[in-house]
Chains A and B, each alone.
Chain A
Amino acid sequence: MKNTLEIRWHGRGGQGAKTAALLLADAAFKTGSYVQGFPEYGPERMGAPITAYNRISTEPIRVHSDIYYPDCVAVVDETLLHSVRVTDGLKENGVLLVNTRKSAEEIRPLLGGWKGKVVVIDARKISEETLGKNFPNTPMLAAVTAVTGVMTRDAFFDSMKDSFQHKFARKPEVIEGNMKALEMAYDTVAGPARRMAAGE
């Protein structure tokens, strides 16, 4: 499909990859896009590998299949690199985003020869610093938005603030930490992403 950005999320049950995909769909909807956010359901249980998807388009979306040739793959749990072929079908000019403390160079040997762009982010560290717990999906959501450029920074933060105000209406004290997690993650990867866009 033309004018459509396709994203595939890999995570483990309980890490919030599905929630991240739904929140991204939400944010993109608010900036006027046509969206899809959906999980692929297997025998769901805590810790099992799960996949979620996003399509974001300037046109109405009619395709209802999974995504096989994504523009971006987000890996919420780096241990999946040993068991799931996360780069399957990832476009050559696409981006692989991995939650890890390691560098892109250290990750690359695990990618089965995939040559495209790799962006790393320590989502765990950001989450622990801002939220006091490991909720990697929140920083990953910001990182995906930054590397894909699917919406502007301001539009994304306005939308997320609004979403968090609804989602955490009964515990508003966590909103600030979540916003901080998004900001740290976004700004950590926005630099490398811009350099990539410039072909460096």
Chain B
Amino acid sequence: MSEKAIKERMSGNEAVAYAIRQVEPDVMPAFPITPSTEIPQMVSTYIANGQMDTDFIPVESEHSAMSAAIGSEAAGARTMTATSSAGLALMWEELLLAASNRLPIVLTLVNRTLSGPININCDHSDGMGARDTGWIQIYAEDNQEAYDNYIQAFPIAEDSRVHLPVMVCMDGFITSHAVMNISLLEDAAVKKFAGEYHPEEFMLDAEHPVSVGPYAISHYEMEAKRAQEAAMERAKEVILEVGKRYGEMSGRSYGLFEKYRTEDAEFIMLIMGSAAGTAKQAVDELRESGVKAGVLKLRVFRPFPEKEIAEAVKNCRALAIMDRCESYNGNSGPLGSEVTAGLYRNRVFIHAVNYIYGLGGRDFTTEDVKQVFEELKETADGRLAEQQHKYIGLRE
């Protein structure tokens, strides 16, 4: 039976801060950086007003924020933080430690480009830069999904089959600073869903002391890393279980991705984050004029659902893979590389065009979406030479 919904309007940052108050983790170390600054600011206000009982640790840098998060989580406390862009880059060394020490920290990443040129607006280069750090990554389309994903992050991270940190991502400004309608849950329902954190092993358990972050000689290192990879593989089923259970509670279930009008689609756009909403609107308009278009909105980027994506797009004529990030590898963005590798490994041989869009907050419109679908059709019809790495919305 679904829990009672509270109709509200909030920005993405407000929604996540609200979810943090409801989950009420034990510890939050944080350092402010645009556009995620409002999250620690609002949480601090909740704490100052006596509306939640979380220990807020103001630190002197993001490196320290993640270090403090590691210490606190290793001690057995449920811990979260928030950051963006260069803040995440400064955490990089510590991100790897959090994951390899199997600490289920939750980090809200408000996506913002990495310098340079310096810019405060959205793209996914910060999250993509951390794609091989061993963190689970879940991306949100809007404030509602940012809220829902946040609440699901703890049961995913802390599951004994997983024990990995989770990055909950939303688009900077576009989602973090836009006020939209949202459906919230009652505090008690959120607390019940997130549950209490009872780590199996933690440093401050005097009866069963463990050491965290020890040196491993070559005889052990490789096995530790393989175990970490196995946990990431198991995370997929846990994410699906939690997404289903969340649906039973809230009426909104979640999978690894959302298929929007893809069943009979000749052309599909694979896209993450807020731009997926714009793409869905454009697809509805294209459908009215007879174009069989669809959207595959990727929600879970780590673990990467390679097989599932290949299965979902195998019957279309052409696929656009949309990257809000450049890899500078000379041939594709991160999604472009991973999706096409997945298609090949699953023997799905369709036209696949990788587009780079929306860097540094470049606006992405329904007209851009329609242009991509037009080019996909021309490519599939053989009227446009196949080009696998393109830009959309670039001023020439």
**Shortest beta-carbon distance from A56 to chain B in Å:** 11
Q: How far is the CA of A53 from the CA of B274 in the complex (A)?
A: 16
CA distance A149 to B68 in the complex (A): 52
Known: A35-B9, A63-B278. A41 touches B121 (CB 8 A): yes
Query: Is B199 in the interface zone, CB < 8 Å from A?
Result: no
What chain B residues lie within 8 Å of A66 (beta carbons)? 363, 365
Of listed A1, A35, A61, A65, residue having the most chain B CB within 10 A: A65
Which B residues are CB-close (under 8 A) to A164? none
Which partner residue on chain A sits nearest B285 by CB separation?
A1
Please give me the residue from chain A that is nearest to B274 by CB atom: A64
The digit string for B160-179, where 1 denotes a CB below 8 A from any CB of A, is 00000000000101110111
| Those of B149-168 within 8 Å (CB) of chain A | none
Q: A37-B178, A41-B177 are in contact. Are A29 and B9 (CB under 8 A)?
A: yes
Contact indicator A63/B142 (Cβ below 8 Å): no
Q: Which of A25, A29, A38 has a CB less than 8 Å from the CB of B173?
A: A38
B324 touches A (CB below 8 Å):
no
Count contacts on B: residues with CB < 8 A to the other chain: 25
Also in contact, A62 and B280, with CB within 8 A (given A38-B173, A41-B173):
yes
- Smallest CB separation, B396 vs chain A (Å): 19
Which residue of B has the minimal Cβ distance to A53? Answer: B178
A156 to B180, CA, bound (A): 18
CB-contact partner of A36 in B173, B180, B366, under 8 A:
B180
- Chain A 53-94, CB within 8 Å of chain B: the 1/0 string? 000000011111110100000000000000000000000000
Is residue B247 contacting chain A, with contact meaning CB distance below 8 A?
A: no
**Interface check A26, CB cutoff 8 A:** yes
Contact check, B365 vs A65: say whether CB atoms are below 8 A apart.
yes
Chain A residue at minimal CB-CB distance from B121: A41
Contact A63–B281 (Cβ < 8 Å): yes
Total contacting residues, chain A, CB less than 8 A: 20
Least CB distance from B171 to A in Å reads 8
Please report the C-alpha to C-alpha distance between residue A17 and residue B323 in the assembled complex, in whole angstroms. Answer: 32
Per-position contact with A for B261-279: 1 when CB-CB < 8 Å, else 0? 0000000000000110110
Q: Is the CB of A35 within 8 A of B180?
A: yes
Contact A60 B181 (CB under 8 A): yes
B120 in complex: contacting residue of A36, A41, A61, A62, CB < 8 Å: A41
A34 within 8 A of B: yes
Asked if B193 CB lies within 8 Å of chain A CBs, one says: no
A38 touches B178 (CB 8 A): yes
A182 interface hit (Cβ, 8 Å):
no
Q: Is A39 an interface residue, CB under 8 A from the partner?
A: yes
B46 contacts A by Cβ under 8 Å: no
Nearest CB in chain A to that of B176: its residue: A38
* Cβ–Cβ contact A22 & B179, under 8 A: yes
Asked if residues B179 and A35 are in contact (CB atoms below 8 Å), the reply is: yes
The residues of A that contact B361 with a CB separation of less than 8 Å are: 41
> Does B56 sit within 8 A of A, measured CB to CB?
no
Interface status of B364 (Cβ within 8 A of chain A): yes
- For B174, give its contact among A1, A25, A34, A64 (CB under 8 Å): A64
Complex CA–CA separation, A1 to B282 (angstroms): 10
Chain B residues with Cβ below 8 Å from A1 are 281
In contact, B181 and A64 (Cβ under 8 angstroms): no
Return the CB mask of A124-146 against B: 1 if under 8 Å, else 0: 00000000000000000000000
- A contact residues around B121 at 8 Å (CB): 41
Complex: chain B residue closest to A40, CB-CB: B173
A62 touches B281 (CB 8 A): yes
| B-contacting residues, A10-49, CB 8 Å | 22, 25-26, 29, 34-39, 41
Complex A-B: 26 CB contacts under 8 Å: A1-B281, A25-B179, A29-B9, A35-B9, A35-B180, A36-B179, A37-B179, A38-B173, A38-B174, A38-B178, A38-B179, A39-B173, A41-B177, A41-B361, A61-B180, A62-B142, A62-B280, A63-B278, A64-B142, A64-B171, A64-B178, A64-B277, A65-B364, A65-B365, A65-B366, A66-B363
Contacts from B to A (Cβ < 8 Å): 9, 35, 120-121, 142, 171, 173-175, 177-181, 274-275, 277-278, 280-281, 361, 363-366
A sample of 15 more A-B contacts (CB under 8 A), given A25-B179, A36-B180, is A22-B179, A29-B9, A34-B181, A35-B180, A35-B181, A38-B173, A39-B173, A41-B35, A41-B361, A62-B142, A63-B277, A64-B142, A64-B278, A65-B365, A68-B365
